[in-house]
Amino acid sequence: MECRIVAVGTELILGLTTDTNSPYIARFLVENGISSQQHQVVPDDVDEIAHAILDGLQHSDALIITGGLGPTFDDVTREALSKAVKRELVFDPKLAEIIKERFPHDKPIPKFILRQAYLPEGAIPINPTLGTAPGIILEIEDKIIFALPGVPDEMKVMLKDKVIPFLRKRVREKAILIKVIKTCDISEASLQERIEDIIAKYENLNIKILVHLEEVHILLMLKGDIKAVEELISNVKDEIADRLGKLVYGFDEDTLEKVVGKLLRKHELKLAVAESCTGGLLSNRFTNIPGSSDYFWAGIIPYSTEVKRELIRVPSQVLLEHGAVSSFTAQAMADGARLIVGADIGLGITGIAGPTGGTPEKPVGLTFIALSTKTTRFCKRFIFTGSREVIKFKTSQQALNLLRLFLLERFEEGEVS
């Protein structure tokens, strides 16, 4: 089964909003053995949407459309659907009642809301459970069209509860298996050199090397009989992981913060972070993980020099002699973070995120990351390039990797020997 994904929205075409729905849907489809060969983004225009629908029906078995189902005048996916498949829009009184129920009872119901109760003849509504916009299921001969609201949370519920169960009944295809191997501290070209004999050996396997900020992923993909595919992918994965050793930090849904979090939990360690130039990003990444309160004890963002001195207890002497961006300050921040909240490990991060504030001696992108425990203290120096947000993110990546390698060397390898 081949599925095409169409995102509707002038704001997407203008680049005011990023389409995150299509990748979400694509991932969900793949997990359920369904391929998508193309994504399209079109504006809120009846003709453009209708054209994309007709084109999609011609080249694929199923079409998933997101956006343009809301109550306001500029939501025209219903009209486009009606035009494309030549079916009149019909008012559905039952659906209208459900939509009214969804609107907060303490406020008057805006009249536009009921535009959403019109559906192309023969369509099945998907009742809204989060917002007010219903989804639409429409079968046209042996093809099927799903139209879902553009608001991600509303779309996700309908995709999971209605679209996927509907599609799964029709999938008679083989499995698509994907394995992602995630690495740090190596460039894409060097990575390929390290594993090129393995790549050459499995030529029927689809292998791809993906570059991200301060990490490189290896994507293994294969379609086929589930058992055979699973075994082959698992073997290749093991072979590559063995070859690369600690350069591999994880697989698939792993992120550096998840992997570090697991190590901290396993060894019952409490972490405190004092992050200046990353400004809360590292703490935010840790706390995005459910259950991170087990090991993430506290984050402190001492953005002003006063706070570095008084709250984190960086000695005035250090700030005066070496400046706020120095290995000495980073180390004192790591120590301070650990001590003032009684954590086992402290991380201290200070740097110049830019775009201004750099000097010839201390350029934009210069960053110091320090670690502190009762028995260990060390600091690493980096120079990152990119925008302010990119420098912040790269810094948080290297801080996580520094902590990961420390935990592996101190707690995991020690156990083995």
**Subset of 66-125 contacting a second copy (CB under 8 A):** 70-74, 103, 107, 110-113
Q: Does 376 bind a second copy (CB under 8 A)?
A: no
Q: Does 363 bind a second copy (CB under 8 A)?
A: no
Q: Does 58 bind a second copy (CB under 8 A)?
A: no
Which range in 32-40, 260-268, 369-377, 399-407 contacts a second copy by CB under 8 A? 32-40
Q: Does 164 bind a second copy (CB under 8 A)?
A: no
Q: Does 199 bind a second copy (CB under 8 A)?
A: yes
Of 275 and 402, the one with the shorter C-beta distance to a second copy is 275
Q: Do the beta carbons of residue 336 and residue 312 sit within 8 Å?
A: yes
Would residue 331 be called left, alpha or beta, if left means φ above 0 and alpha means ψ between -120 and 50 degrees? Answer: alpha
Q: Does 140 bind a second copy (CB under 8 A)?
A: no
Q: Do the beta carbons of residue 65 and residue 34 sit within 8 Å?
A: no
Of 173 and 409, the one with the shorter C-beta distance to a second copy is 173
Q: Does 15 bind a second copy (CB under 8 A)?
A: yes
Q: For residue 192, what are its two tokens?
A: 């390929």
Which range in 232-240, 261-269, 368-376, 384-392 contacts a second copy by CB under 8 A? 384-392
DSSP conformational letter for 113: G
Q: Does 255 bind a second copy (CB under 8 A)?
A: no
What is the Cα gyration radius of the chain?
A: 26
Scan residues 144-163 and list those touching a second copy (CB under 8 A). 150-151, 153
C-alpha closest to that of 184 among 416, 347, 352, 408: 408
Which range in 40-48, 162-170, 328-336, 403-411 contacts a second copy by CB under 8 A? 40-48
Strand, helix or coil for residue 330: helix
Q: Does 261 bind a second copy (CB under 8 A)?
A: no
Q: Does 25 bind a second copy (CB under 8 A)?
A: yes
Q: For residue 135, what are its two tokens?
A: 């989804």
DSSP conformational letter for 87: -
Q: For residue 262, what are its two tokens?
A: 């697991």
Q: Does 17 bind a second copy (CB under 8 A)?
A: yes
Label the pairing between strands 206-212 and 215-224.
antiparallel
Of 238, 243, 387, 409, the one binding a second copy (CB under 8 A) is 387
Q: Does 286 bind a second copy (CB under 8 A)?
A: yes
DSSP E strands, 101-142: 118-120, 124-126, 135-140
Q: Does 291 bind a second copy (CB under 8 A)?
A: yes
Q: Do the beta carbons of residue 64 and residue 2 sit within 8 Å?
A: no
CB of 169 to a second copy, least distance (A): 22
Rounded CA gap, 74 and 217, in Å? 40
Q: Does 183 bind a second copy (CB under 8 A)?
A: no
Q: Does 356 bind a second copy (CB under 8 A)?
A: yes
Q: For residue 258, what are its two tokens?
A: 């998840």
